[in-house]
């Protein structure tokens, strides 16, 4: 690798780090609003959305450390650390999926209803374009520097965008119909995304290779 190529890679890695810091800032906001709204409205959907944001926040923090480590010590060490962290994130996502299934099942069994949350709807709406922008930029940089971890993180952003859309649809349906079962049904729709994201995180390098 020439000096010019090395400098270009360093610049791209720095851009990726900034994208991860933006992700962290947004996920802190998203998680706080969604979890707060979920607790206030007794909404499993919003709680799951907020807890998923916490997991993605942790993932972004790990990637910042990984990319920073690459700048200091090279790729090999940071990639091994990221793979171990990915398995932890995958396990957390599987646990969250189990929580959603149990919670939704209990709500359907007891016919418990959730209240509509405007703040939850607004944060989910805002997340859709933000996640699209972040995912597009991350994928562009990941392809240039050949980073499996960054591309996997971009896939998480895409998944978060689709998850946000599911939340928007569910909350809108709840507002329009007022049906007691909408929140539980929507939360079960989220499970597919959580399991998919969890499998990709747990698979680690193999999954990332398939995304290239």
**Interhelix angle 118-145/44-73, nearest 10 degrees:** 30
**Domain of residue 34, residue span:** 3-207
CB 28 within 8 A of CB 57: yes
Is the per-residue pLDDT at 118 higher than 70? yes
| Domains identified in the chain, total number | 1
Please, what's the largest Cα pairwise distance for the chain? Answer: 66
CATH number of the domain where residue 52 is located: 1.20.1510
Whether the model clears a pTM of 0.85, i.e. scores above it, the answer is: no
Residues of the chain with pLDDT > 70, as a percent, come to 89
> Is residue 160 one of the residues assigned to a domain?
yes
42: left (phi over 0), alpha (psi -120 to 50) or beta: left
> Is residue 212 one of the residues assigned to a domain?
no
Is the per-residue pLDDT at 70 higher than 70? yes
* 155-209 confidence digits (pLDDT tens): 888 888 988 998 999 999 989 988 888 888 888 888 888 888 788 778 765 444 4
CB 57 within 8 A of CB 24: yes
Angle value at C-alpha 169, between 165 and 173, nearest 5 degrees:
170
Under the banding of pLDDT at 50, 70 and 90, the label for residue 1 is: low
């Amino acid at each position: 690798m020439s000096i010019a190529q090395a400098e270009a890679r360093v610049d791209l890695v720095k851009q990726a780090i900034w994208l991860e810091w933006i992700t962290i800032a947004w996920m802190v906001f998203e998680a706080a609003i969604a979890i707060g709204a979920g607790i206030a409205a007794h909404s499993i959907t919003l709680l799951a959305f907020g807890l998923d944001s916490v997991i993605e926040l942790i993932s972004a923090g790990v990637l910042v450390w990984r990319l920073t480590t690459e700048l200091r010590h090279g790729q090999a060490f940071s990639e091994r650390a990221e793979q171990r962290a990915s398995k932890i994130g995958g396990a957390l996502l599987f646990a969250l999926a189990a929580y959603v299934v149990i919670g939704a099942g209990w709500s359907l069994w007891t016919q418990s209803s959730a209240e509509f949350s405007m703040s939850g709807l607004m944060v989910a709406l805002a997340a859709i374009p933000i996640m699209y922008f972040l995912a597009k930029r991350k994928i562009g940089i990941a392809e240039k520097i050949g980073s499996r971890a960054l591309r996997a993180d971009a896939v998480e952003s895409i998944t978060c965008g689709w998850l946000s859309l599911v939340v928007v649809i569910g909350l809108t349906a709840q507002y329009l119909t007022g049906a007691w079962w909408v929140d539980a049904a929507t939360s079960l729709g989220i499970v597919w995304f959580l399991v998919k994201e969890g499998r990709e995180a747990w698979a680690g390098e193999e999954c990332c290779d398939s995304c290239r």
